[in-house]
């Protein structure tokens, strides 16, 4: 797939439109697998790459490891040619390679690009002329040009360079941020506009053509950095507004005002207001992390993102607020948190999904344990919680058969599967962080 003139560019676009281009997606996680299935629906023969042998084996057996993706969808993709592999040597066979790997924070809340750099370094030896490499991982502005491109150029044996014009041989690079929203059943994936920024006009046109096959609208921007900043803006917007309402919630508690009632009243305004809701903290791969990515990058330009950093601090402190509320609620019943039995309901970062990434529930559990509480958890999506990058729990799910045995039940994630009427009726004390018990009038409920 070498672009040397407009005619060849047209031929390549035609191969994409005819679903003949071979597409490889690296990272079969929360972003990569749904993307692979979306391309498969359009009859592309997709190859999924992952270093996790268990995931690859399950996919090749037509099984799924995500609750929201049934195995039948994987099997339908296989009928269109989908397969998974741990063999990065097959990258050489791909016309398009899309990278969908995590970009977490390290222990110092600084960007950890090890998954990106490791993946790019694994791809580079198999890079060939004319390939299009697209990064989808959320990251700071400049990553594509400053990190990905140099690694690809230095790591390929043929010493190919990124081609920024149609008449220059090489490979093509673009950035297109993922816009996954796990659990959102109201907006179809293909209806979410796809932002694309390329290293040169050819890369932009090719990447736009690829995504136009599965998304109803493609939004081209001037550069990868502009696309990278677009993703950060979207998530920082949410982070800042959630921080504001979390802070207002704490003020309303002191003032004896129901913040949930206030929000419901405010959102009746038909203009100038969008409702955001308080909670026990932020979770997911993007919103808790993205502000720190931008703050880190901003320091390279002698710029201090005070507003954004403050929002991150407020949201980071919310699990501590929850634990303090639990302690106060127990004190009101002449009990100490130290030695109390506490049941945490919900460990996913939001309702009705099987996603633990950056979940505030994990921090709440650890903080409760640090205060001497005996903690159990229940979540319909997780039979077990083990070890992650920033937590070590090793806990098995318990049933809801003995709610009365606990000194306090803490609702951290408001899954739809829970019978909140029953929970309130049977529990000694309920601390509700999500307003899940709204409309249930009971003296044993504390909303925080």
Mean pLDDT lowest among 14-18, 58-62, 226-230, 406-410: 14-18
Rounded Cα–Cα distance for residues 229 and 141 (Å): 6
Q: What is the pLDDT of residue 392?
A: 79
Answer yes or no: 286 catalytic: yes
Q: Provide Rg for the chain, Cα atoms.
A: 24
**Cβ-based neighbours of 404, under 8 Å, separated by 6 or more:** 426, 427, 428
- Answer for the pair 356, 347: CB distance below 8 angstroms, yes or no: yes
Q: State mean pLDDT over 111-128.
A: 96
Q: What is the pLDDT of residue 32?
A: 97
Which pLDDT tens digit goes with each residue over 307-333? Answer: 999 998 999 999 999 999 999 999 999
User: Which candidate, 138, 117, 116, 136, places its Cα nearest to that of 290?
Assistant: 138
Residue 272 has pLDDT above 90, yes or no: yes
- Answer for the pair 16, 210: CB distance below 8 angstroms, yes or no: yes
How far does Cα 303 stand from its chain's mean position?
27
CATH assignment, 237-447? 3.40.50.720
Q: Which residue has the higher pLDDT, 351 or 289?
A: 351
pLDDT-derived band at 169, boundaries 50, 70, 90: confident
How many CB atoms sit inside 10 A of residue 32's CB? 24
Mean pLDDT lowest among 1-10, 205-214, 237-246, 409-418: 1-10
Q: What is the pLDDT of residue 108?
A: 77
Fold of 6-221: Rossmann fold (3.40.50)
pLDDT-derived band at 168, boundaries 50, 70, 90: confident
Q: State mean pLDDT over 10-32.
A: 91
Residue 1 has pLDDT above 60, yes or no: no
Q: What is the pLDDT of residue 149?
A: 98
Dihedral sign from CA coordinates of 362, 367, 370, 372: negative
Mean pLDDT lowest among 136-145, 172-181, 285-294: 285-294
pLDDT-derived band at 265, boundaries 50, 70, 90: very high
Q: What is the pLDDT of residue 315?
A: 92
User: Which candidate, 339, 347, 326, 341, places its Cα nearest to that of 432?
Assistant: 326
Q: State mean pLDDT over 358-362.
A: 93
pLDDT-derived band at 303, boundaries 50, 70, 90: very high
Q: Where are the alpha helices (DSSP H) in 256-299?
A: 259-266, 290-298
The residue extents of the domains of the chain are 6-221, 237-447
> Starting at the edge strand that comes first in sequence, how are the strands of the sheet with 341-345 ordered?
374-378, 341-345, 408-411, 430-432, 445-447
Which pLDDT tens digit goes with each residue over 415-447? Answer: 999 999 999 999 999 999 999 999 998 899 999
Rounded Cα–Cα distance for residues 269 and 155 (Å): 55
- Answer for the pair 83, 47: CB distance below 8 angstroms, yes or no: yes
Q: What is the pLDDT of residue 5?
A: 59
Which pLDDT tens digit goes with each residue over 377-399? Answer: 999 999 999 877 667 788 999 99
Catalytic residue among 100, 199, 286, 408: 286
Q: State mean pLDDT over 182-199.
A: 91
pLDDT-derived band at 270, boundaries 50, 70, 90: very high
Residue 110 has pLDDT above 80, yes or no: yes
Which pLDDT tens digit goes with each residue over 50-68? Answer: 999 999 999 999 999 998 8
pLDDT-derived band at 335, boundaries 50, 70, 90: very high
Q: What is the pLDDT of residue 186?
A: 87
Alpha-carbon dihedral of residues 178, 188, 182, 346, nearest 10 degrees?
170
Rounded Cα–Cα distance for residues 240 and 62 (Å): 41
Mean pLDDT across the chain: 93
Single pTM value for the model? 0.91
- Answer for the pair 369, 348: CB distance below 8 angstroms, yes or no: no
Q: What is the pLDDT of residue 8?
A: 65
Q: What is the pLDDT of residue 4?
A: 53
Q: What is the pLDDT of residue 105?
A: 83
Rounded Cα–Cα distance for residues 75 and 68 (Å): 15
- Answer for the pair 10, 21: CB distance below 8 angstroms, yes or no: no
């Amino acid at each position: 797939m070498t672009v040397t003139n407009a005619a060849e560019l047209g031929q390549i676009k035609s191969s994409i439109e005819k679903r003949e281009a071979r597409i490889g997606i690296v990272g079969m996680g929360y972003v990569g697998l749904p993307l692979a299935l979306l391309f498969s629906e359009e009859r592309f023969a997709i190859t999924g790459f992952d270093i996790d042998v268990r995931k690859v084996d399950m996919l090749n057996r037509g099984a799924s490891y995500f609750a929201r993706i049934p195995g039948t969808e994987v099997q339908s993709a296989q009928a269109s040619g989908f397969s998974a592999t741990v063999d990065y040597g097959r990258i050489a066979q791909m016309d398009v390679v899309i990278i969908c790997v995590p970009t977490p924070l390290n222990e110092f809340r600084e960007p950890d690009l090890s998954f990106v750099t490791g993946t790019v370094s694994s791809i580079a030896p198999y890079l060939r002329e004319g390939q299009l490499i697209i990064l989808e991982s959320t990251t700071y502005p400049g990553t594509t040009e400053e990190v990905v491109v140099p690694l690809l150029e230095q790591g390929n044996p043929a010493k190919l360079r990124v081609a920024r014009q149609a008449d220059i041989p090489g490979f093509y690079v673009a950035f297109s941020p993922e816009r996954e929203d796990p659990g959102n059943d109201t907006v179809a994936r293909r209806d979410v506009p796809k932002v694309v920024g390329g290293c040169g006009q050819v890369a932009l046109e090719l990447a736009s053509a690829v995504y136009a096959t599965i998304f109803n609208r493609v939004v081209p921007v001037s550069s990868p950095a502009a696309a990278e900043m677009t993703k950060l803006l979207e998530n920082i917007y949410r982070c800042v507004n959630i921080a504001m309402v979390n802070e207002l919630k704490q003020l309303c508690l002191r003032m004896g005002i129901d913040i949930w009632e206030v929000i419901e009243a405010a959102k009746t305004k038909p203009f100038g207001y969008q409702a955001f809701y308080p909670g026990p903290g932020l979770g997911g791969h993007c919103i808790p992390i993205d502000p720190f990515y931008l703050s880190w990058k901003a320091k390279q330009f002698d710029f201090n993102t005070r507003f954004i950093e403050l929002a991150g601090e407020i949201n980071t402190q919310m699990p501590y607020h929850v634990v303090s509320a639990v302690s106060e609620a127990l004190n009101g019943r002449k009990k100490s948190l130290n030695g109390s039995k506490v049941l945490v309901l919900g460990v996913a970062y939001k309702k009705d999904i099987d996603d633990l990434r950056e979940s505030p529930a994990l921090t709440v559990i650890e903080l409760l344990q640090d205060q001497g509480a005996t903690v159990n958890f229940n979540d319909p999506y997780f039979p077990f919680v083990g070890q992650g990058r920033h937590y070590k729990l090793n806990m098995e799910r318990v049933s809801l058969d003995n709610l009365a045995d606990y000194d306090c039940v803490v609702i951290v994630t408001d899954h739809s599967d829970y019978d909140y009427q029953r929970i309130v009726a049977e529990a000694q004390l309920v601390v509700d962080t999500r307003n899940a018990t709204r409309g249930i009038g009971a003296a044993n409920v504390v909303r925080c």
